[in-house]
């Protein structure tokens, strides 16, 4: 396919087929990398400056890793790709007739990016199931803003408790509630207990951080329902051992600045309220707002969670030049995990690359290769599940570490993370505990809010 030379409002002169990728996560980055040496001009649009390794966000939130160790600047990551331009902006609207995407800048102004092919890998955000007011008290775990907001809440809670004169006043500050018993919730709950038991154990005079109460609130009948029941039971045993209080079969039905309420799912509908000044939310995800904008512009319906249904080749029905990949796509109940996004991004980009090179459309169906799932529970305890292979305990923990180091972007991040893990394992200390005093809701707001 050839195009006439055009310029976008970014000031770029383009004379080759134009590919626009929305999102700098796993799907977007792996799609962009597939275009090395392909005769196309690529624009990667993201609202942040860095690629974030989301599987380790909870370790940033709990002071084990710094934000620098789980992020890589997109411009640095793609600096060797002469045909890729990185643009900082948030996708706002799309004109499918004119093939133009409009994005907003930090100051609220907008710019247009024309495209011939579009790959949307914008991801998901935390879902509050109709109660977005909860976000002011219960941050989620999907962005770097979320991780830093949670770190601020955790560290501040211990500091507040240290300054209070009576055990009754301290108790709510030393109670931490985590909503959601999936991998993120389990990992977060386990790390809070480890933070209290090891890193903070000898640093306070008035309180014993080991008395911190961690509540894991989950609607299912077991934690980690996506894992084999045997592995799920092993995770539960580890949580019990380190002192996490698991409450199963309950929905969170109210959240405030000082407490969280649960209601049992059984016929009794029993309500319990826990006094807690730190409430964290990992109970479900939903598509980012741009998914609705895209669906309306393309004339397609959204599936559960706001996802967009796609054809076997990951293109959108009726729009052969638009692909949706990663968490935002709905196809054969594929899970919202990093590997699906990586493989989907590569596949969509491959379809475009072969179309450009051969001059005819490529509609090769996407075949997902399941490389398994992993979850960190506690020190020397992790789960790995890959087909018939099931590992837990220390063996699972080592395998979990190898997997995550392998997928971290950049040798510097890999080395830094390994060094930090080794130091923490040897000493129990967590030095990445600096906190900020910004707005924890910023990750949910558009640039011009």
Interatomic CA distance for residues 442 and 362, integer angstroms: 40
Cα–Cα nearest to 343, from 30, 130, 15, 1: 30
Alpha carbons 392 and 374: distance in angstroms, whole number: 10
Closest CA to 74 of 94, 107, 50, 101: 50
E strand or H helix at 41: strand 41-46
Mention every residue, 6+ apart, whose C-beta is less than 8 A from residue 328. Answer: 120, 121, 122, 123, 124, 287, 288, 291, 306, 307, 308
CA atoms of 261 and 271, how far apart (whole Å): 7
Tokens 């004119």, residue?
98
276's tokens = 């807690």
Tell me the catalytic residues.
187
Radius of gyration of the chain measured on its C-alpha atoms = 23
In 3D space, the residue among 50, 90, 55, 96 whose CA is nearest the CA of residue 410 turns out to be 50
Six-digit token string for 90 = 């948030």
The answer to whether 57 and 282 are in contact (CB under 8 A) is no
How many C-beta atoms lie closer than 10 Å to residue 164's C-beta?
Answer: 16
Residue 176 structure tokens? 């931490």
245 near 262, Cβ under 8 Å? Answer: no
CA 183 to chain centroid, in Å, comes to 11
């Amino acid at each position: 396919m050839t195009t006439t030379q055009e310029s976008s409002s970014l000031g770029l002169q383009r004379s080759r087929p134009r590919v626009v990728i929305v999102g700098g996560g796993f799907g977007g980055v792996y799609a962009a990398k597939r275009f090395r040496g392909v005769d196309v001009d690529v624009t990667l649009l993201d609202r942040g400056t860095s690629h974030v390794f989301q599987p380790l966000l909870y370790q940033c939130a709990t002071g084990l890793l710094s934000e620098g160790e789980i992020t890589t600047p997109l411009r640095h990551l793609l600096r060797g790709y002469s045909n890729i331009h990185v643009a900082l902006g948030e996708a706002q609207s799309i004109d499918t007739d004119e093939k133009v995407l409009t994005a907003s800048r930090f100051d609220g102004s907008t710019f247009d990016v024309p495209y011939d092919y579009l790959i949307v890998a914008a991801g998901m955000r935390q879902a509050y199931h109709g109660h977005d007011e909860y976000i002011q008290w219960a941050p989620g775990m999907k962005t770097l803003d979320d991780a830093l907001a949670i770190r601020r809440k955790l560290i501040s809670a211990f500091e507040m408790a240290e300054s209070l004169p009576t055990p009754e006043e301290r108790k709510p500050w030393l109670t931490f509630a985590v909503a959601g018993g999936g991998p993120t919730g389990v990992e977060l709950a386990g790390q809070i207990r480890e933070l209290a038991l090891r890193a903070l154990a000898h640093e306070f005079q008035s309180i014993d951080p080991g008395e911190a109460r961690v509540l894991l609130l989950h609607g299912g009948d077991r934690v980690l329902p996506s894992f084999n029941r045997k592995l799920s039971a092993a995770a539960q045993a580890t949580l019990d051992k380190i002192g996490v209080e698991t409450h199963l079969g309950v929905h969170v039905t109210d959240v405030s600045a000082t407490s969280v309420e649960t209601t049992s799912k059984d016929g009794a509908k029993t309500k319990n309220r826990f006094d807690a000044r730190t409430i964290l939310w990992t109970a479900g995800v939903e598509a980012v707002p741009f998914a609705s904008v895209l669906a309306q512009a393309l004339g397609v319906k959204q599936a559960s969670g706001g996802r967009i249904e796609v054809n076997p080749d990951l293109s959108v029905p009726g729009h052969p030049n638009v692909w949706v990949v990663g968490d935002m796509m709905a196809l054969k109940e594929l899970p919202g995990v990093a590997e699906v996004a990586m493989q989907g991004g590569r596949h969509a980009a491959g379809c475009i690359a072969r179309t450009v090179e051969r001059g005819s459309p490529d509609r090769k169906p996407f075949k997902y290769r399941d490389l398994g799932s992993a979850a960190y529970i506690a020190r020397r305890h992790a789960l790995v599940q890959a087909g018939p292979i099931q590992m837990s305990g220390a063996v699972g923990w080592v395998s979990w570490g190898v997997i995550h180091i392998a997928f971290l972007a950049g040798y510097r991040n890999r080395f830094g993370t390994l060094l930090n893990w080794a130091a923490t394992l040897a000493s129990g200390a967590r030095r990445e505990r600096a906190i900020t005093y910004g707005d924890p809701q910023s990750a949910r707001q558009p640039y011009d809010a």
